[in-house]
Chain A
Amino acid sequence: MILNIIKRDIIIASRSGSSALNGLIFFCLFIALASISLGGTNEVLKPLSPALIWLAIVFSTMLSYQNIFQEDYKDGNLSQLRLGGVSALNICIAKSFSFSIQSIFPLILSIPIVAVFLDMPLSEIKTIIVTLLIATPGLTVYGVFSSAIAAKIRGGTFFIVLITSPFLIPLLIFGLESMNSASDVDIFNSELRVLIGLSLIASAIGLPASAAALKTNLE
Chain B
Amino acid sequence: MISYLANPSRYLKFSKNFSPFAGWITLMSLLLALYYALLKSPPAEEHGQAVRMMYTHVPAAWCALLAYTCLTVASIFSFIWRHPLADSAAKSIATPGLAFTFLALLTGSLWGKPAWGTWWQWDGRMTSVLILFFIYIGYLTVWSVIPERKKAARLASIIAMVGFINIPIIKFSVDWWNTLHQPASISSVGSPGLPLEILTPLLLMTLSYSLFFMWLVIKGIEKDITKMNMQNRKNKPLAFTEVEDI
Query: Interface residues, chain A, CB within 8 Å of chain B?
Result: 145, 149, 152-153, 156, 159, 162-163, 165-167, 169-170, 173, 201, 205-206, 209, 212-213, 216-217, 219
Contact = CB atoms under 8 A, between A and B. Distances in A.
A210 to B, nearest CB: 8
Contacts of A165: 134
A200 to B, nearest CB: 12
Interface of B: 79, 127, 131-132, 134-135, 137-138, 141-142, 145-146, 151, 154-155, 158-159, 161-163, 165-166, 169
A216 B149 CA distance: 12
Contacts, number: 53
B169 A170 contact: yes
Contacts of A159: 141, 145
Nearest to A201: B165
In the A-B complex, the 10 residue pairs with the closest CB atoms = A166-B134, A163-B138, A166-B131, A216-B154, A166-B135, A209-B162, A162-B138, A149-B155, A213-B158, A209-B158
Given A163-B138, A209-B161, A216-B155, A152 B146 contact: yes
A153 B148 CA distance: 12
Nearest to A168: B131
Contacts of A201: 165
Given A159-B145, A212-B158, A173 B127 contact: yes
Contacts of A205: 162, 165
A166 B68 CA distance: 15
A166 B169 contact: no
17 contacts: A145-B162, A149-B142, A149-B159, A152-B146, A153-B145, A153-B146, A162-B137, A163-B142, A166-B132, A166-B135, A166-B138, A169-B131, A170-B131, A173-B127, A205-B165, A212-B154, A219-B151
A132 B135 CA distance: 24
Q: Which of A145, A156, A163, A169: most chain B CB closer than 10 A? A: A163
Nearest to B124: A173
